[in-house]
Chains A and B, each alone.
Chain A
């Protein structure tokens, strides 16, 4: 294991009006490791990812990638930095107006100026890697099932062979079998690339499958972190409640009782 920090968050705060979402996140993702951040809905997982990608700007704190501070970066520097990243969005976020192959090779065509013919070949190869036949490349995203869209999203995330891949709820909305297929693909493709990954999910089966390390976020802070193998003996009451999925425990949902 490498102990070099690929991504390092220190004291990151983010609010929306009076609602404080991140209240001082400290988190490190080591190079070549797969970290999964778990946490309930509204705990700040997605906001944390968006802050790292520069889609949102935190009010306080530091976010470093390869030791380089990213907060306050210029737009061209940010664009260059993002060539290191791939991302699988929760709803796949495929471009409706483009055929599947062009979605997969979008980054190669736009930012790496690859010729369309070559980009199509690369796209078909990447579709094959996620278990999709070449003819899917000619379809439009609206013609695909949810599972196929996720696989196309994964193909797009790995197409440019990024150093870091983010997975935002990779199995949400999928049946258990398709969810496991996606998890398997993530593990295989990440292993091929040797990429560093940061995933967010509340699907414990997915977390167990794809993580080297797991961290739990609660009310905008990391409250536990450790190896994936030790989550059942975390010694943290909130972590134990989340892993076991019980309504009773220190984490209370705002639900009106009848």
Chain B
């Protein structure tokens, strides 16, 4: 039986990891460079804004309303343990705008959009359509990646703003219809407690998450190989990587934005 040297396994894994990181970093650099430099494709950007933003509205809206509703219920039940039921509107608005709005909406969009981008570009790769673009003197980064990146960065904050409003409304509905809160008082409390920075921090995060979602879809699609199976693998990897990067970036950004005596890990 062949004995595997454990150090060789660790070495190979480390080198593989570093190679993959370098590869991704190279792709991101090239993609950003081509996104910032002309020519731009307004038609394609608009098309992607529709796909990423407009067509994600139903899934983001539904997720937001239920998240807001559950949040109101949980805070009410938790708050009741120390007679603090009245904090429901304050915590709902804070939780939704700072965290749950951007993160839940982005994770839902990652599942929908990263997969779709990876599948589309992956199919183009395995059917030589990307090679065809190059032979027609069209840079695939400018034509395929840049419009998706721009659309992701623009569409996600808009989606998250809508998710914030719908999420807070979900909490409001549960609180006023099921938990006995007075409508006017609930709205007043939410409004008084909320600060512009709470909403803005979520929107900044959403822009970064939009970038991650589009980038992971493009990266995985661009490097898919091996026919239908390869495209399937690229699609799965795009969603998994986008989700992980979103959660990691969320922690980092939260540490940076709300750095009030908290030291990041």
Contact = CB atoms under 8 A, between A and B. Distances in A.
A209 interface: no
A99 interface: no
A82 B137 contact: yes
A82 B135 contact: yes
Contacts of B127: 91, 93
B123 A80 contact: no
Contacts of A95: 124, 129, 132-133
Interface in A110-155: 110-111
A79 B141 CA distance: 13
Contact of B134 (A54, A91, A156): A54
6 contacts: A50-B131, A87-B135, A91-B127, A96-B129, A111-B136, A111-B138
Chain B interface: which size bin?
10 to 19
Interface of B: 120, 123-124, 127-129, 131-139, 143
A53 B143 contact: no
Contacts of B134: 53-55, 82
Contact of B135 (A85, A90, A96, A97): A85
B129 A87 contact: no
Contacts of B129: 93-96
A75 interface: yes
B137 A90 contact: no
Contact of A80 (B120, B137, B139): B137
A107 interface: yes
A190 to B, nearest CB: 17
Contacts of B139: 75, 79
Contacts of A183: none
B131 A83 contact: no
A15 B183 CA distance: 71
A106 interface: yes
Nearest to B44: A97
A89 interface: yes
Contact of A110 (B120, B124, B137): B137
Interface string A202-215: 00000000000000
A93 B131 contact: yes
A110 B137 CA distance: 8
Contacts of B137: 79-80, 82-83, 107, 110-111
A46 to B, nearest CB: 10
Which of A83, A85, A87, A93 counts the most chain B CB atoms within 10 A? A93
B45 to A, nearest CB: 15
